[in-house]
Amino acid sequence: MPTAGLYTLEELGEFFLTHKLKMLSCNALIFLNMKQTQAEKDAVMAQLDEIIRRCELLDCKMIVVAPSMNLPVHASVDEIIEDAVAVLKEMVKKVEPHGIKLSLEFCGAPSMSINCFECAYDIVKAVDSPMVGLTLDQFHFHAMASTWEVLEQADGKKIFVWHLNGAENMPCGAPTTPTRGVCGPASPPTAWITSVSRLP
C-alpha cells in the first residue's frame, strides 16, 4: 500500500537519529543559475531556505544543486560559469552557518547549462570554498563526453558524491535516462576504478 504522507519530516528525522541509516544528501535544488529577474533569483534562495529547514529536521549535511536548462538567453560558457560562481557564493552564506555543504551536479544533456565535468569543476574551483564540491554521476559524465584526463587531475576532495551507474555506448548528447544502467559499455567499472585510484 502507498505510504506517502503517512509520516512527517519530524518523524523521519527522529528515525534517522535513532537508527544507523543516515541521509547523505538532499537531492536536489534544481535550476539554480542564469536567472534573469530578481524575483527569479529570490525564488531560488527561498527554495534553498526551505531545503535547509528540512535538512535541519533530517540531520542532513549536504544539498545537491543542479543547473538550469533551455536557457531563454544566449550565454557563453564563461558567462554561465561566472553566474554560477556568484550564485553558489551567495548560497554558501546561507548553508555555512548550518554546517551544510553544496554539491553541484552537472547534467549530461545538450540543453543543460552545466553539462560536463570540466565546466562544473571550473565552477567549484572558482568558488573556492570547503562547503562546495561536485556530484559526479557516471551517466552524465559519459553523456556529454567529459574527459578522463581532467577527472584524473582533479582534487578528489572536491568530489562530494559519486553516483555509480553507466550508459549505453551512444554518441555525445544522445544518451537519455532510459539508456542508464548499473554498468554499461560506455563506462566499464575497470576504467572508473583506475581513474578513482589516480585521484589526489
User: Between 117-127 and 77-95, two packed helices, what is the crossing angle to 10 degrees?
Assistant: 50
- pTM of the entire structure? 0.86
Q: Cα 35 to the chain's mean position, in Å? A: 18
Hey, what's the cell of 115? Answer: 553539462
Q: How many Å apart are CA 135 and CA 127, to the nearest integer?
A: 15
- pLDDT tens digit sequence for 127-155: 999 999 999 998 888 888 888 888 888 99
Kind plus residue range of the DSSP H or E element containing 29: strand 26-29
Lowest average pLDDT, out of 1-15, 18-32, 61-75, goes to 1-15
Hey, what's the cell of 62? Answer: 549536504
Sign of CA dihedral 163, 167, 173, 178: negative
Residue-range domains of the chain with CATH: 24-198 (3.20.20.150)
pLDDT of 191 strictly over 80: no
